[in-house]
Structure 1
């Protein structure tokens, strides 16, 4: 029997893309998916969209302390054996993504899995801007700036219960710290799905400026130190450099969701 998957979506004033995110989960085939939405107090039509959707299993609306606080609240709502996070402006690459994920978790020894990610234009979701091919998991790759794309990261709920959720003191590095903690510090068994699982619209916090990159580097270093881990001298500078080739790679086939995009 395939495990049930809880999908957490945090949103605030995301009416333009929220319906597609909801449909992306609702259209998944061959698996029981529960969709939990945490709204941070939207003032646009996001709440009306959420309340009118029959495909939402739980939703919470209240002020929060940012994206990762909302994700932690969503994890508390989750009832599925496996937890994934789909941002309000992201969507799954095909109707079979969660089925693929569920098949991986039929192996009881697997505690987490991840896949590949496509960044698409915020204005024109048919346009692939970056392609993040993750590659198989080898824990030593963290020391060379590697990390899996967090939007494709699925984890058994019991792992969150055992090792905790997102550390809000890490700012935009909270997802990096969580994956360091789970994968490198506690070395949970992790599987790689060599497929594009999620399409992510370009946006969010930019580390393009030198000042932002230095701040991000400090938070990344803190993520290692609070877990009692020691990076190589070059680890944290390799991390942004690894992104450069993503602008030149393309997946071997275009994900269904992109080919069908409006």
Structure 2
């Protein structure tokens, strides 16, 4: 059985876990060991082989990696420059696909204001999961990689009007809107529309607390897909405190 659970999603910390009978894959560690333990204590993952994959060096994705990797005795993988930036000198630099047990994890380079940011496509015995966050634009390579995902966890960071009229400074607004910033609800809808399939469960992630709402993000993406008659299994919004639904395959 394959399991997926997004522990936390947002600007205060991100972490996702995917596991089968033998291995646990952790995507990002932007939360504390205390929160990680609280959220996973009942999931029966203690005896599994554990691996951590970091997408980029920003603290909401990497702040807990040293403590969590040490406590779990987990190997850490990322781009070499990202490992250097977060001072994980015993980590493993990756360029292509990494295999462990029944898992393969494929990094895909994206456009974000970090040294060498990636997103991850995870496969396990015919199940495909895309964890796509912190990017200002979606290119054709990423669309192709995401196609036919059973779970598509993708950023829907902001509503353009809320960002425009919100409390952020103009330089910060420009950074978020840029090709090296974050995806809007509309951009998320476009990317999902180009890659979704009938078997996809959609999870909208990394929502801004000040420039978005879960209802608005879901309604924007649903409308975009429904207007184009795209079919999918389900859609939800992951949150900072509650994370996502626990999915089992």
TM bucket normalised to smaller: 0.3 to 0.5
| Structure (1 or 2) with the greater strand fraction | 2
Asked which structure has the greater RCO (Cα within 8 Å, sep 6+), the reply is 1
| Structure (1 or 2) with the greater helix fraction | 1
- State the TM-score, normalized to the length of structure 1: 0.33
- State the TM-score, normalized to the length of structure 2: 0.34
